[in-house]
Amino acid sequence: MDISVVLCTWKNSRRLGITLEALSHCVVPQGVTWELVLVNNHSADETERVAKDHTERLPIVYVEEPLPGLSRARNKGLSLAKGDLIVFTDDDVRPCVDWLTFYWRAYRTRPEGYFFGGRIVSEFETERFDREMIKHAPLCIRGLDWGGEERILREDEYFIGANWAAPLEMVRRAGGYDVTKGLNAVPGRTTTGEEADLMNRMKHMGYRPLYLPDAAVHHFVPERKLNGRHIGRRLQASGYAYAGLEVPPAPGPYIGNLPRWIYKRIALRLMRYGAIRLRGGKGYQDYFDLRFDIGYALGLRDLASARHDRAVSK
């Protein structure tokens, strides 16, 4: 098997049908074999029926993951995949026609030492939203565009789960996804950072992220995500996840479990945001930076507590 596409879905059968329809129109390079590993993460809707409706046009391997969590579902797909190249995507995208061709060509040119990702173009459900606000939203909302040229990503740039690929054995050697991170990982809490965590591990193993601008997908963004409350929650979750990527721990001196500078930064951001609002401004940049920093501080706190607990247990 040459390519395994892993697509996880949760309570999204209508959009899943659109995604599968788009995948059925993708050009498969001549002589290339592929499979679509479709993981149903405990959906109670029409997901299974939608999958069956497309089995004649797509090489679907249908499987269920009963435990909640996107990372668990992706790991299920990872465990079943048979292709030399694994491509991850989501249930609310429309890949370009030559999507598989671009990934396969990149992999055949560089079969070792690289993983890959492509552009993500957001398709908003409504035009009734503040575009200035969306400029500050995370990539999963505003879209991902690292330019028009193929290149290695900078250290602070990442791919996201809707559109990336890697040699299968590389992902397995890196340990797959951390099931404590990602959508539905922790009941009642917004959690993110699963892709950045996995890609960081791959980079530490010596692999390089290569951006492929032409391997593009269109990503549907529902109206319920186009507001400051949702974006703030996502950015706070991103800050929490970012704290876990820092090794060694954040520099001190410390007050309690947190470095002194984080208290100062949060206080300054809060005052600046308050001043902007009092003058009638929107203050999106300061508000979202504040939410990210709060998440970062909470992440540092929990990491410090975990280190303390491990030390005590020894």
196 and 135 share one domain = yes
Final residue before a domain boundary, out of 192, 225, 258: 225
Q: Is the pLDDT of residue 309 over 80?
A: no
Per the domain annotation, does 121 fall within a domain? yes
Give per-residue pLDDT as tens, 115-126.
999 999 999 999
- The average pLDDT across 42-57 equals 96
Q: Is the pLDDT of residue 135 over 90?
A: yes
The predicted pLDDT at position 249 comes to 64
177 and 291 share one domain = no
Residue 6 parent element (H or E): strand 3-9
Per the domain annotation, does 238 fall within a domain? no
253 and 220 share one domain = no
Range of the domain at 95: 3-225
- The average pLDDT across 179-198 equals 88
User: Is the pTM for the entire model greater than 0.75?
Assistant: yes
Per the domain annotation, does 14 fall within a domain? yes
29 and 103 share one domain = yes
Query: CA dihedral defined by 141, 147, 148, 149, rounded to 10 degrees?
Result: -130
- The percent of residues above 70 in pLDDT, for the chain, comes to 98
CA 5 centroid distance within chain: 16
55 and 140 share one domain = yes
Q: Give the bridge partners for 60, in sequence order.
A: 36
The predicted pLDDT at position 14 comes to 96
Q: Give the bridge partners for 8, in sequence order.
A: 39
Q: How far apart are CA 170 and CA 5, in angstroms?
A: 15
- The average pLDDT across 79-108 equals 99
Q: How many domains does the chain have?
A: 2
162 and 270 share one domain = no
The predicted pLDDT at position 94 comes to 99
Least confident of 132-141, 180-189, 259-268: 180-189
Per the domain annotation, does 200 fall within a domain? yes
Per the domain annotation, does 143 fall within a domain? yes
141 and 22 share one domain = yes
Per the domain annotation, does 240 fall within a domain? no
The predicted pLDDT at position 61 comes to 99
Per the domain annotation, does 237 fall within a domain? no
The predicted pLDDT at position 314 comes to 67
153 and 277 share one domain = no
Final residue before a domain boundary, out of 173, 190, 225: 225
The predicted pLDDT at position 186 comes to 79
Q: How many helices (H) and strands (E) in the chain?
A: 11, 11
- Give the pair of three-digit tokens for residue 171: 């992902």
**CATH number of the domain enclosing 132:** 3.90.550.10
